[in-house]
Amino acid sequence: AQTVTQSQPEMSVQEAETVTLSCTYDTSESNYYLFWYKQPPSRQMILVIRQEAYKQQNATENRFSVNFQKAAKSFSLKISDSQLGDTAMYFCAFMGPGGGADGLTFGKGTHLIIQP
Amino acid sequence: DVKVTQSSRYLVKRTGEKVFLECVQDMDHENMFWYRQDPGLGLRLIYFSYDVKMKEKGDIPEGYSVSREKKERFSLILESASTNQTSMYLCASSRPLAGGNNEQFFGPGTRLTVL
């Protein structure tokens, strides 16, 4: 079984700063998918970014990028030019090679607070 | 846009009651999921379904059952609610990987309180 670890329960940064959220995982699979989901105070979970393990290039989505280190089983999320609307719970999640029919494994989450 | 809706945002029930949480998705997704979210524990998978009338246990199925009679609807059932089932319940849906985008789309959640 796979596990996902987010070691930072809470982080706080000033608006416009860059922040990195860490995530490590453990799996015996060679092909899999990794996700970062965001849950704002209104509670709707939305996908931030996705990485396929067989792709060496790190995924980017506007101000969001990941540092995927497959050998180290590390998948950190970098938020550049942070904004007040980035305040949310962030969850790292693992999906096995089956494509997700059996669900995601989530970390415990990081509460990110962007201070004005 | 994919839309996943849940029947209630907030629900208060008494110990021993039978509770139904309903989830409906409008994008013809094959896969549907029920997660439970607790502070400091993240999301944990209760049950999932990859087809109508199919159901599989997730990581914490004890005390729960599910029903999927139609493709768009996935119900979570608490046969006899207990106080330790007070939690946030999130429903999600997705396409199979062969369908391309395997992102899971989540509903707004149901905050269940069992007194």
pLDDT in tens, A19-68: 999 999 999 988 899 999 999 987 789 999 999 888 889 999 999 999 99
CA dist B37 and B84 (Å) reads: 12
Residue B102, SS3? Answer: coil
B100: nearest CA in chain A? A99
Computed from CA positions of residues A28, A95, B79, B109, in that sequence, does the dihedral angle turn out positive or negative? positive
Taking a contact as any Cβ pair under 8 Å apart, which residues of chain B between 14 and 43 contact chain A? 30-31, 33, 35, 40-43
Q: Are B114 and B11 in contact (CB under 8 A)?
A: no
pLDDT tens for chain B, residues 1 to 115: 669 999 999 999 999 999 999 999 998 999 999 999 999 899 999 999 999 999 999 999 999 999 999 999 999 999 999 999 999 999 999 987 654 567 899 999 999 999 9
pLDDT in tens, B20-42: 999 999 989 999 999 999 998 99
Q: Cα separations (Å) of B66 from A17, A95, B52, B69, B87?
A: 45, 22, 12, 10, 17
pLDDT of residue B99: 47
Pairing of strands A110-115, A10-14: parallel
Q: Are A39 and A45 in contact (CB under 8 A)?
A: yes
